[in-house]
């Protein structure tokens, strides 16, 4: 066992046999600290190289996936809009452009995944599904431009979302599908960004999410289940998008969240589980949302009138069903005011440690992985890069201002594009889509 691990030395004093959780944790710690020791023991210029984001090899890996996936990807045959999102969002985070033909091919392909009655399926001819609808819509916004944005049938998407509405207040993933917090998030995120969110869709969602916040503070997939990073992000973002976030116990959610960052620097998804690169975004993004909430609520005086306005938007009186005075235009301004809000609050997590874990433990030659010893994939590439962007901008006072010197780990070329954490879309593309859909006709 590694002497650098405090928990292992404590346990060495005990005559208890380590449990499975401990054994797994110590094994990972020893692997991670081995890598960190390597970093400490090499000259500074080699350190910079070790911490460098390997842009070229990542682009090569991503572009290859767009053009060809081997037979082993058949198990993801019902997730192809997701693969599109993981890849195109990664490329957008890297600030790289792609050739126009590839863009058109992507728009054409996603058109074939769009169901005639609204929503997108996992591939051409498959039933529409909320998660792949979220992935397809986010991809098309990331691609940007009139052709791409206009290819989304907003009216039919709305009808699909209404059809997925469940009696519990939540949403079903698809006709006859499971009801959980993921379904709520993907439905509300899509409706919000397309400017089709209304009271019928919102009704009952807040109660459903609230029923999933656990005694630990985080949010579970379903009432009674265990607090989990992915669902916590989904639940928190949903509550912000529907303007009911203050109904959550934010103090306990924050406390649970900050304890998910492990000694390795990365985030774990649940208490006493191993860290995993993908939670860099799920937990790191949730931490960024909390930080922005504090920007709204943390100061009670000497704020500009702009902030007063946005505060008014975020403070909800909506628990008792008095929703009638909130029209679509008003509710659709919540996310943009939230994201554009100026913040003086520091990040709630250790940003440098997170960047170190992502760059040294998750990054491989072309792509990212869960942890040392695991293989790369497009999912982890997307969420490691998203988490890296969140960490890099975590000290910035405005969503789109350049990071402060010192908040970026590694060379300046590591800097990624800033994201809108509510939807995990690169900010510039999100702004374009917002403008496009706010001018779109009413349904």
Partner 1 sequence: MDSDEDERTLLPLSQRPEWSDVTPVPQNDGPNPVVPIAYSEEFAEVMGYFRAVYLADERSLRALHLTTEAIQFNAGNYTVWQFRRLILEALNADLHEELEFVEQLASKNSKNYQLWHHRRWVAEKLGTEAASRELEFTKNIFVNDAKNYHAWSHRQWVLQNLGGWEDELAYCNELLEDDIFNNSAWNQRYFVITRHPGLGGIEATIDSELDYTIKSILIKPENESPWRYLRGLHKNNVQSFVTNPKISTLCLNVLTSKANPVFALSLLLDLISKGFEPNQDLKNAIEVVVPESNSQDSDISVTICTVLEIIDQMRVNYWRWRKKNLHPQVAEGVANLHIH
Q: Is 205 in the site for partner 1 (CB under 8 A)?
A: no
Restricting to residues 14-33, name those near partner 1 by CB under 8 A: 16, 19-22
Alpha-carbon distance 358 to 172, whole Å? Answer: 34
The DSSP H or E segment spanning 62 is: helix 55-67
Task: Please report how close the Cβ of residue 58 comes to partner 1 at its closest, in angstroms.
Answer: 17
- The binder of partner 1 chosen from 102, 159, 415, 443 (CB under 8 A): 102
Restricting to residues 283-322, name those near partner 1 by CB under 8 A: 290, 293-294, 296-298, 300, 311, 314-316
Task: Please report how close the Cβ of residue 259 comes to partner 1 at its closest, in angstroms.
Answer: 6
Alpha-carbon distance 150 to 356, whole Å? Answer: 40
Active site amino acids: 228, 270, 273, 276, 278-279, 370, 377, 380
340: number of CA atoms within 13 Å, CB side? Answer: 13
Pick between residue 122 and residue 206 the one whose CB is nearest to partner 1. 122
Q: Is 77 in the site for partner 1 (CB under 8 A)?
A: yes
Alpha-carbon distance 398 to 310, whole Å? Answer: 14
Alpha-carbon distance 281 to 287, whole Å? Answer: 9
Q: Is 7 in the site for partner 1 (CB under 8 A)?
A: yes
Q: Is 183 in the site for partner 1 (CB under 8 A)?
A: no
- The binder of partner 1 chosen from 87, 184, 209, 422 (CB under 8 A): 87
Residue 298 neighbours by CB under 8 Å, 6+ apart: 344, 345
Task: Please report how close the Cβ of residue 5 comes to partner 1 at its closest, in angstroms.
Answer: 11
- The binder of partner 1 chosen from 53, 92, 173, 389 (CB under 8 A): 173
- The binder of partner 1 chosen from 105, 330, 401, 438 (CB under 8 A): 105
Task: Please report how close the Cβ of residue 369 comes to partner 1 at its closest, in angstroms.
Answer: 17
Q: Is 250 in the site for partner 1 (CB under 8 A)?
A: yes
| Per-residue mark of binding to partner 1, 229-248 (x: CB under 8 A) | -----------------x-x
Alpha-carbon distance 273 to 259, whole Å? Answer: 12
Q: Is 92 in the site for partner 1 (CB under 8 A)?
A: no
72: DSSP letter: G
Q: Which residue in the block uniquely carries the two structure tokens 């306005």?
A: 309
Restricting to residues 329-358, name those near partner 1 by CB under 8 A: 345-350, 353
Q: What are phi and psi for residue 42, nearest 5 degrees? A: -115, 160
Phi-psi region of 386 (alpha: psi -120 to 50; beta: other; left: phi over 0): alpha
Restricting to residues 115-144, name those near partner 1 by CB under 8 A: 121-127, 129
Alpha-carbon distance 157 to 152, whole Å? Answer: 8
Count the residues of the shown chain that bind partner 1, applying the rule CB under 8 A.
Answer: 95
Assigned token pair, 116? 């005639």
440: DSSP letter: S
Task: Please report how close the Cβ of residue 46 comes to partner 1 at its closest, in angstroms.
Answer: 26
Among 51, 28, 31, 30, which residue's Cα sits nearest to residue 39? Answer: 51
Task: Please report how close the Cβ of residue 49 comes to partner 1 at its closest, in angstroms.
Answer: 26
Restricting to residues 377-436, name those near partner 1 by CB under 8 A: none
Alpha-carbon distance 350 to 110, whole Å? Answer: 38
Q: Which residue in the block uniquely carries the two structure tokens 């998203």?
A: 386
Pick between residue 166 and residue 443 the one whose CB is nearest to partner 1. 166
Task: Please report how close the Cβ of residue 25 comes to partner 1 at its closest, in angstroms.
Answer: 8
- The binder of partner 1 chosen from 39, 51, 69, 443 (CB under 8 A): 69
Alpha-carbon distance 221 to 219, whole Å? Answer: 7
């Amino acid at each position: 066992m590694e002497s650098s691990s405090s928990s292992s030395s404590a346990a060495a004093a005990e005559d208890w046999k380590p449990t499975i959780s401990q054994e797994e944790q110590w094994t990972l710690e020893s692997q991670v600290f081995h890598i960190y020791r390597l970093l400490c023991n090499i000259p500074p210029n080699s350190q910079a190289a070790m911490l460098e984001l390997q842009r070229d090899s990542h682009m090569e890996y991503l572009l290859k996936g767009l053009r060809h996936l081997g037979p082993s990807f058949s198990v993801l045959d019902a997730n192809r809009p997701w693969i599109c999102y993981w890849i195109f969002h990664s490329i957008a985070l890297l600030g790289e452009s792609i050739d126009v033909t590839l863009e058109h091919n992507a728009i054409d392909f996603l058109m074939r995944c769009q169901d005639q009655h609204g929503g997108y399926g996992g591939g051409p001819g498959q039933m529409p599904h909320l998660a792949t609808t979220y992935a397809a819509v986010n991809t098309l916004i990331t691609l940007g431009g009139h052709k791409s944005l206009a290819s989304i049938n907003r009216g039919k998407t709305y009808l699909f979302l209404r059809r997925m509405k469940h009696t519990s207040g939540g949403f079903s993933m698809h006709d006859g599908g499971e009801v959980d917090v993921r379904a709520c998030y993907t439905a509300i995120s899509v409706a919000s960004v397309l400017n089709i969110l209304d009271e019928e869709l919102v009704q009952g969602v807040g109660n459903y999410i609230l029923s999933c916040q656990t005694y630990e503070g985080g949010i579970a997939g379903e009432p009674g289940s265990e607090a989990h990073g992915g669902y916590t992000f989904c639940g928190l973002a949903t509550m912000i998008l529907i303007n009911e976030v203050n109904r959550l116990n934010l103090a306990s959610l924050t406390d649970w969240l900050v304890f998910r960052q492990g000694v390795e620097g990365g985030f774990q998804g649940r208490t006493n589980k191993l860290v995993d690169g993908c939670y860099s975004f799920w937990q790191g993004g949730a931490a960024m949302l909390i930080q922005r909430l504090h920007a709204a609520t943390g100061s009670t005086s000497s704020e500009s009138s702009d902030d007063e306005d946005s505060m008014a938007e975020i403070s909800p009186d909506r628990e008792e069903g008095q929703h009638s005075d909130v029209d679509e235009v008003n509710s659709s301004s919540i996310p943009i005011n939230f994201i554009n809000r100026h913040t003086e609050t520091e990040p709630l997590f250790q940003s440098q440690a997170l960047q170190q874990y992502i760059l040294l433990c998750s990054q491989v030659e072309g792509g990212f992985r869960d942890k040392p010893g695991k293989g790369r994939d497009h999912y982890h590439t997307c969420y490691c890069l998203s988490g890296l962007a969140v960490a890099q901008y975590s000290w910035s006072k405005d969503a789109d201002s350049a990071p402060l010197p010192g908040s970026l780990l590694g060379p300046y070329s590591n800097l990624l594009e800033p994201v809108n954490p509510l939807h995990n879309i690169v900010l510039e593309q999100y702004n374009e889509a917002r403008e496009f859909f706010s001018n779109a006709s009413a349904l």
